[in-house]
């Protein structure tokens, strides 16, 4: 019974994706899309912006995740709720919130516009939208990872004279690394697939804000289903390739540990 349910769930999750990719490959639209300048530009923009948004997330979210994991402070529950909120918000709502904050007439955007700095409908807006919707996935994973690190090991390192920086790089981060890597992968994947907040806050301008998910939507709206399927297949293959590579790296590390 359990096996049958597992098979049904596997088919439910995997069959639609397999049919989408197979249609793109067999029908030849995937090869055509890979030769399209618009698709290549959108794919390049997606890869560049997601790499930048991931780097920004790691830099600004890792200290917060560590703080949330190790210290209880007044308002901690509120901070945790605010961090998790973008996960449950509809992406279009997130985009609208960003527009009201950083738009030309937004609370922060209007003073910036007076200084000649405009964020909406630019590549920077794409990155901000990706960070906003994807960072919570990294924070949740990093917080869980830091919570698993035994404080006795850190205290022992401090007693031996290790500085906080040495402690972080030698003890805390290596021990929390599996959770950190998992959070990075989830964050990157969420940023790669971001659509709603991007189209609301950054628009859909080719070469500037048109990421690959927006190409999928645009081609479908234009009635070119094959082109839409091909762009979607590229997204699936890119995400699947990263997930496989991460798991292979994890398996490789496990084998190295067994051999030592």
CA torsion sign, 104 to 109 to 114 to 117?
negative
The pLDDT of residue 249: 62
Residue 177: both structure tokens together? 């690394």
Catalogue the E-assigned strands of the chain: none
Listed ranges 74-88, 167-181, 197-211; the one with the highest mean pLDDT: 197-211
Q: What is the pLDDT at residue 250?
A: 59
User: Taking all residues of the chain, what is their mean pLDDT, rounded to a whole number?
Assistant: 87
The pLDDT value recorded for residue 257 is: 44
Evaluate if residue 60 carries a pLDDT over 60: yes
Burial 108-135, CB ≥16 within 10 A → b, else e: ebeeebeeeeebbbbbbbbbbbbbbbbb
DSSP annotation of 73: -
Instruction: Give strand ranges (E) for 142-212.
Output: none
Q: Sorting pLDDT into bands at 50, 70 and 90, what band is 4?
A: confident
Q: How far apart are CA 73 and CA 76, in angstroms?
A: 5
Q: What is the pLDDT of residue 145?
A: 92
Q: Mean of the pLDDT values across residues 40-61?
A: 94
Phi and psi, residue 122, nearest 5°: -130, 170
**pLDDT of res. 25:** 87
pLDDT tens digits along 111-127:
988 888 899 999 999 99
Question: What Rg do the C-alpha atoms of the chain give, in angstroms?
Answer: 21
pTM higher than the cut 0.95: no
Of the listed ranges 11-20, 30-39, 188-197, 224-233, the least confidently predicted one is 30-39
Average pLDDT over residues 49-74: 91
pLDDT(255) > 50: no
Q: Cα separation of 120 and 101, whole Å?
A: 10
């Amino acid at each position: 019974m359990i096996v049958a349910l597992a098979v049904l769930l596997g088919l439910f999750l995997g069959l639609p994706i397999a049919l989408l990719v197979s249609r793109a490959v067999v029908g030849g639209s995937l090869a055509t899309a890979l030769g399209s300048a618009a698709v290549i530009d959108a794919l390049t923009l997606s890869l560049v912006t997601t790499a930048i948004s991931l780097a920004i997330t790691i830099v600004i979210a890792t200290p917060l995740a560590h703080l949330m994991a190790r210290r209880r402070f007044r308002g901690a529950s509120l901070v945790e709720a605010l961090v998790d909120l973008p996960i449950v918000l509809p992406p279009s709502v997130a985009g609208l919130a960003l527009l009201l904050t950083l738009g030309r007439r937004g609370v922060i955007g209007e003073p910036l516009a007076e200084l000649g700095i405009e964020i909406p409908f630019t590549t920077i807006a794409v990155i901000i939208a990706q960070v906003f919707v994807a960072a919570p996935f990294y924070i949740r994973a990093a917080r869980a990872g830091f919570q698993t690190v035994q404080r006795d090991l850190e205290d022992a390192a401090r007693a031996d004279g290790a500085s906080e920086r040495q402690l972080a790089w030698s003890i805390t981060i290596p021990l929390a690394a599996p959770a950190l890597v998992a959070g990075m992968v989830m964050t990157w994947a969420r940023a790669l697939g971001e659509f709603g907040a991007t189209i609301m806050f950054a628009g859909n301008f080719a070469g500037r804000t048109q990421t690959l998910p927006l190409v999928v939507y645009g081609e479908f709206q234009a009635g070119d289903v094959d082109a839409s399927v091909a762009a979607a297949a590229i997204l699936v293959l890119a995400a699947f390739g990263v997930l496989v590579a991460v798991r292979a790296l994890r398996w490789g590390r496990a084998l190295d540990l067994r051999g030592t």
